[in-house]
Amino acid sequence: MSETEQHDWSETRVRVRYAETDQAGMVYHSNYLIWFEVGRVELCRAYGFNYREMETEADAYLPVTECRVRYRIPAKYDEELVIRSKVIELRSRAIKFAYEVRRMSDDMLLAEGETHHIVMNSQGRARAFPSEYAELMKGGNASAKTSS
């Protein structure tokens, strides 16, 4: 899969909790990275597998090696959001995901970003992406919608 190949977005709904906001009532910046992770895990489910199973059954972990977030408009307490996630690049030992955070009421883009990951085993050594999971991601349609 190349960066130019497009796949459907997987969508996960979240509601902003009070604990996720700062003193000004806006979502604290690091929570967007947590929501990216929520979206990433649900994206795996949409592709037909559980991320935890990939760790335990295939001894494959996806630590983040780089992340980027562009904040556009702040999310606020009690707003319903949609976290959109998709794979934008899948290589033999690495994967990249793209994300959008949108407000449900008006579909406004609040933030967007990417995370880059390498594939490692439980001993911390780089390894190939397990073929059975790579095939699911290459051929699957991840347009599932979930709530959290």
What's the confidence (pLDDT) of residue 138?
A: 85
> Residue written as tokens 């979206």?
39
Average pLDDT, the chain: 91
Q: What is the pLDDT of residue 141?
A: 57
Query: Residue 4: inside a domain, yes or no?
Result: no
Residue 2, in any domain of the structure: no
CATH of the domain at 71: 3.10.129.10
Total domains present in the chain: 1
Domain-embedded: residue 31: yes
Q: Go through 41-62 and write b for each residue having 16 or more CB atoms within 10 A of its CB, e for each that does not.
A: bbbbebbebebeebeeebebbb
Contact partners, residue 86, CB within 8 Å, separation at least 6: 6, 7, 8, 9, 10, 43, 97, 98, 142
Q: How large is the angle between the packed helices 30-46 and 51-58, nearest 10 degrees?
A: 70
16 token code pair? 């902003």
Structural domain span for residue 53: 10-140
Give the whole-number percent of the chain exceeding pLDDT 90. 86
5 found inside a domain: no
